Structure 1
């Protein structure tokens, strides 16, 4: 078995883009050279790694296995480089973060803006993922930090609590529930619900609760942002559940009312997940500290 770091990076880039030519370009190789390297890699491993089609490539089961190991190898190389950047190692390096919808849209932009302003040598890859994918990525080492809410299996991970996430029900003015201070989630299911897009952590969480409570209808509308949800609610299309920070911000400019949710799951603790805080590169540890400090200063 023989391959080098160029082969590993090339394979990861192809997997991420779903396209051999684009993956080659990201690795600064020509398409023919990249194709030859992938064929040699498959021969070395005695396994087919890619399904090749007219619209691009996809990974075989062997390809998925190699991708998981390749990402870990590249992250460890990054850690090695960061450990030798000197005493100010938190001012350079790369941090990959997998986070839930609320984190990506509501507070991470502000946290990262402040964090990166004083660290021009640091780069960050922030991706929205489902909770189970976040946990898996931290276990596998394919992400440095994971940001999640609610009850999760923390076995084998370090979980640093940094704030509380509260979910509220948003309804249009004049709605049947508009004068309620609190409502049980089950009592909202007689009304049409709207929600976030497919792939969002909040949609996946609420869909599970809806199925458990017998909500058999499809969501009336699915949208890309909390702002779009609130505008649709304001227009009377349906009602929706969203984080308190987003709900209160949009309530200032839209004709909606917020109602508390009685169910215990509506108040959820937020955690940063890591495999080992001590083993993180300096930039990763500094970002965890920044999150905790920002929470103490007012992340909602």
Structure 2
């Protein structure tokens, strides 16, 4: 069975546009030419790939399966081009990273600043996503790698733990909970909360926890970022659950106090998620190593062996 890469690219364009015409425009083809190519692809696979209607097109189960493979194939083609682009030691290429809120705001800016400073030929697309979307993106090839915290297991996903992420309760000074050595998350639900914006991984994680309790998170205000959250907490607007690393930093300049959470899930393992470490381009493996170096964690021996070829 022979696959034409142009047909796979066109198929992805049509699937993402939910329209044969829209996909054809993205591929700079006429609608008629695009339709002929897609029918030929269906004939070659012996499977119907689209449900067609006056509103556009929708993937069939077979089409959904092909979309995952097509994205992975084209990403791998880009990796091959990157590795043989003429730059030495993986200094060229493009990486797409899906990460949680904490990673994007706390340590990835510094990691990427150092990483990219010596690699002018590399570009990076860093996107904040929910954990489930990070996992899905890595599995279907939309992202080269993901950064998650806590449980994120899925068949076909390789997790590389690199640090620990503890969640704590932040309260204004003088709050009734301020002098408690430990509190449970359930106890905090008696007080109004300061939360992050919709779409943040931390907010979604906390909402999942209260949903399991049959409760709802008592949000009084939502903000865009950890610093405004800490300022709202300092002002007495509410209390909030935050990563300890950022809460400690803001505690130096703001009148907030931190209280340990007694819940087992409060301490979470941060991991890099990849489909297959060895399949990453050399610049991707170099970034994985840079994250481990920044966090001061030693990668597992199997990971070290696979990364050794980067140097």
Which category of TM-score, normalised to the shorter sequence, fits these structures?
A: 0.7 to 0.9
Asked if structure 1 preserves the Cα contact closer than 8 Å seen for 2:13 and 2:26, the reply is: yes
The reply to whether residue 158 of structure 1 matches residue 158 of structure 2 is yes
Indicate the larger mover: 253-262 or 107-116.
Answer: 253-262
Q: Which residue number corresponds to residue 129 of structure 1?
A: 129
Indicate the larger mover: 235-244 or 62-71.
Answer: 62-71
Residues 237 and 74 from structure 1, CA distance in 2 versus in 1: closer, same or farther, beyond 3 angstroms?
same
The reply to whether residue 39 of structure 1 matches residue 35 of structure 2 is yes
Residues 52 and 275 from structure 1, CA distance in 2 versus in 1: closer, same or farther, beyond 3 angstroms?
same
Residues 79 and 227 from structure 1, CA distance in 2 versus in 1: closer, same or farther, beyond 3 angstroms?
same
Structure-2-length-normalised TM-score: 0.79
Aligned pairs for 1:151-230 (under 5 A) are 151-153=151-153, 155-216=155-216, 218-230=218-230
Alpha-carbon distance, 1:195 to partner: 1.6
Aligned pairs for 1:23-172 (under 5 A) are 29=28, 33=29, 35-44=31-40, 45=42, 47-48=49-50, 60-61=59-60, 64-85=64-85, 88-153=88-153, 155-172=155-172
Alpha-carbon distance, 1:294 to partner: 0.4
Q: Which residue number corresponds to residue 270 of structure 1?
A: 270
Alpha-carbon distance, 1:179 to partner: 2.0
Any idea what SS the aligned residue of 2:259 has? strand
Alpha-carbon distance, 1:265 to partner: 1.2
Per-residue CA shift, 1:147-179, capped at 9, x if unaligned?
A: 111133265433222111111111122221122
Alpha-carbon distance, 1:222 to partner: 2.5
Alpha-carbon distance, 1:94 to partner: 1.6
Residues 262 and 80 from structure 1, CA distance in 2 versus in 1: closer, same or farther, beyond 3 angstroms?
same
Alpha-carbon distance, 1:202 to partner: 1.1
Q: Which residue number corresponds to residue 307 of structure 2?
A: none
Residues 207 and 283 from structure 1, CA distance in 2 versus in 1: closer, same or farther, beyond 3 angstroms?
same
Aligned residues: 290
Asked if structure 2 preserves the Cα contact closer than 8 Å seen for 1:169 and 1:242, the reply is: yes
Asked if structure 1 preserves the Cα contact closer than 8 Å seen for 2:83 and 2:90, the reply is: no
Matches of 1:217 and 1:162, distance apart in 2 = 30
Per-residue CA shift, 1:61-95, capped at 9, x if unaligned?
A: 56654543331121011122133246824211122
In structure 1, the gaps of 5 or more residues are none
Per-residue CA shift, 1:118-157, capped at 9, x if unaligned?
A: 0111111212222222223333333221211113326543
Q: Which residue number corresponds to residue 304 of structure 2?
A: none
In structure 2, the gaps of 5 or more residues are 43-47, 298-311
Residues 4 and 230 from structure 1, CA distance in 2 versus in 1: closer, same or farther, beyond 3 angstroms?
same
Q: Which residue number corresponds to residue 239 of structure 2?
A: 239
Asked if structure 1 preserves the Cα contact closer than 8 Å seen for 2:20 and 2:35, the reply is: no
Matches of 1:104 and 1:17, distance apart in 2 = 28
Matches of 2:213 and 2:274, distance apart in 1 = 33
